[in-house]
Structure 1
Amino acid sequence: MDEYQTCTDEELIVRLRAGENVISDYLMEKYKDLVRRRANAMYLIGGEKDDLIQEGMIGLFKAVRDYQPDRKTSFQTFAGLCIERQIYSAIQGSNRQKHLPLNTYVSLSAEEEENTMGEQWAENPEAIVIDRENVRILEEEIKKLLSPLENTVLSYYLDGYNYVQIGEILGKSPKSMDNALQRIRTKIRNYRESRKKYTK
């Protein structure tokens, strides 16, 4: 598969449509880290990260299946959209609601998206668009809530490290890192609830 590394994703999709089915496996492997980052950037209350990763991989599969090479949007942007949409649908389902309020969903992704991402979200009437400025403000507020250690732990967590790996990096016990992640999650929940009450 080394030959694929010199091709753009869009070129690979054209070849995939022409019958080179192994390219599907290559793209799934190439973008699985993107799935992990998106899953790490979303907190599902009562859910498991592995469940979100699984949903994200389904979204990635749909992106590989449905992407049209003549789109103005790059495959990477389209894949990010499909991954987020699939994870978001899982969050909706887990809450057993037809419409999920904005304040039950927290995105901590710092990645920049193209404007076309928002345009495609708008095609789905049940999709909620969180604009970049709102995300930036939310991230800043969350940073203020957390201690320096918790901010460091969160940064590693969003990069895909688990609590054992974070403990090894920081020279801390796995238990203390697990506790830190629980504190982070609790603080974010409490902040979300306070915003919910404030906006009523």
Structure 2
Amino acid sequence: MQLYTEKEVRSKEKVYKDISDPIVDSLIIEIQSGDASLFPDLLERSEVLLRKATYRRFIKGYERDDLYQEACLILVEAVEKYEPDRGMSFNQYVCLCLDNHFNRLIRKSNAIKRKSFKESLSLESILEENGYQLAGPAKTLQPEDKPIVNETMEEYIKYLSSFEKDVCLYCFLGHSYEKIAEDLGCTREKVMNAKHRCTEKYRKHFM
């Protein structure tokens, strides 16, 4: 068991900035009571918080103004759902909502990237293992997309058997089921079943 001095303990404690705003909290109470005319005041008071929430995020397909509009929509939803008796200030609550929302957008963006490679299944690592080289980059593959493709495929091939990897590679190279069966010394039906399992595993783990 490792012991720390009181000074060391204080140095390890993370300090959080108090973002609560009594004026905002009072505005929320009045707005929730039916005074919708105060919402522009709330928006003006919350602008700095919303700008900070969008400034440090970069999501493909979203411009800075788009992210700010998303943040404003979350603010509206937060006003409706906020419960003051939960022991959290409104600013704390809306920051939590913003984090959750933008994290969902990021996951969605990554899922779309992965799905865009569903048919081609860029098996770059498998190709290299088998001594093949790509004739050229895939049309849909952009330089900024390569890391997520590699990450996805490294994870994907872990779920495939040795035979399934071979079938997936041959399919990627454009060979027919008959040709694959001939090269691998098996039946066409076995190849088709393996290809089906490859597709189902991709859908299960990455879609």
TM range (shorter): 0.3 to 0.5
For the pair shown, the structure with the greater C-alpha radius of gyration is: 2
Q: TM-score, normalised by structure 2?
A: 0.41
